[in-house]
């Protein structure tokens, strides 16, 4: 699929209510651990994340997907040494779920997404935040407004499983270009499923998988140094998750 077809596909999916209808995005909008009293949130928030091969203490479920998103600001900082100042870039930011907490620690946050309608909604959500900038991207690269050597942290959560490998490779190279020396790039991939797949049906989100070795190779081809690759598994999950941190 060429990049303009791909962009049109996501625009259609967003206009059809992708986030409003997606089971994984219900009850997670604030990301501020509103459900901190729930056992699953409390457990995920207090887990030891030092293992590079972690079995989550819950079977796979939609509730687990939601709880992982709600507790993201807590476990992400346990997994990696996330910077807390300067510029953060959120790749494939959607409505800005992650930006809600990023904008409390970083001086400046830039979120971008291939979908203009998702960015329109994100701009409404952050209209009162003068440290948040939202941009529409092409399907295979950072917007040109973001200059080289400018970012302290680049993040992409649940984006690269949905896009062709070639576009992902360009995103990783762009992250390497936009990071400052010493800056950190963190992203996740899915694994142990569709590790040969590179595309899918039109109108559905795809699930393109990577092995730990192909994840490392992806980073190394960009010139970044792999800092950590961690795998999460859950009983009954259709795939495992891979977490990658790469340093410039």
Ligand X SMILES: C[S@@+](CC[C@H](N)C(=O)[O-])C[C@H]1O[C@@H](n2cnc3c(N)ncnc32)[C@H](O)[C@@H]1O
The single residue listed with the structure tokens 């795809």 is 206
Residue closer to ligand X (CB basis): 140 or 152: 140
- Closest contact distance (angstroms) between CB of 44 and ligand X is 16
Closest of 80, 207, 221, 211 to residue 154, by C-alpha: 80
Residue closer to ligand X (CB basis): 14 or 67: 14
- The count of other CB atoms within 10 Å of the CB of residue 162 is 20
State both tokens at 148.
């080289």
- Closest contact distance (angstroms) between CB of 124 and ligand X is 15
SS3 247: strand
Helices (H), 32-159: 39-46, 62-70, 72-79, 99-105, 116-125
- Closest contact distance (angstroms) between CB of 61 and ligand X is 17
Residue closer to ligand X (CB basis): 152 or 174: 174
State both tokens at 181.
């020396």
Would you tell me which residues interact with ligand X (CB under 6 A)?
10, 14, 92-94, 97-98, 113-115, 118, 137, 139, 157-159, 162-163, 167
Residue closer to ligand X (CB basis): 102 or 159: 159
- Closest contact distance (angstroms) between CB of 207 and ligand X is 11
Q: How far is the C-alpha of 121 from the C-alpha of 143, rounded, in Å?
A: 18
Question: How many residues are recorded in the chain?
Answer: 248
- The count of other CB atoms within 10 Å of the CB of residue 74 is 17
Which residue is closest to ligand X by CB? Answer: 92
- Closest contact distance (angstroms) between CB of 58 and ligand X is 20
Residue closer to ligand X (CB basis): 170 or 248: 170
Residue closer to ligand X (CB basis): 207 or 226: 207
The single residue listed with the structure tokens 């992806």 is 218
- Closest contact distance (angstroms) between CB of 108 and ligand X is 18
182, 151 contact by CB (below 8 A): no
């Amino acid at each position: 699929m060429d990049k303009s077809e791909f962009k049109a596909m996501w625009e259609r999916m967003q206009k059809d209510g992708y986030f409003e209808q997606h089971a994984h995005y219900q009850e997670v909008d604030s990301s501020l651990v509103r459900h901190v009293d729930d056992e699953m949130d409390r457990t995920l928030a207090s887990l030891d994340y030092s293992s590079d091969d972690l079995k989550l203490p819950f079977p796979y479920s939609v509730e687990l997907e939601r709880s992982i998103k709600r507790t993201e600001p807590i476990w992400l900082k346990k997994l990696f040494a996330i910077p807390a100042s300067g510029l953060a870039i959120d790749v494939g930011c959607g409505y800005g779920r992650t930006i809600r907490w990023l904008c409390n620690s970083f001086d400046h946050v830039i979120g971008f997404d291939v979908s203009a309608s998702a960015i329109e909604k994100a701009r409404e959500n952050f209209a009162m935040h003068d440290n948040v900038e939202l941009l529409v991207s092409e399907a295979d690269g950072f917007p040109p407004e973001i200059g080289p050597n400018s970012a302290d942290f680049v993040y992409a959560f649940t984006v690269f499983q949905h896009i062709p490998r070639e576009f992902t490779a360009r995103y990783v190279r762009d992250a390497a270009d936009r990071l400052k020396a010493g800056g950190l790039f963190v992203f996740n991939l899915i694994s142990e499923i569709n590790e040969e797949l590179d595309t899918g049906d039109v109108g559905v989100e795809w699930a393109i998988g990577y092995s730990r070795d192909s994840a490392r190779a992806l980073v190394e081809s960009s010139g970044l140094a792999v800092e950590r690759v961690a795998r999460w598994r859950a009983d009954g999950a259709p795939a495992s998750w891979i977490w990658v941190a790469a340093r410039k």
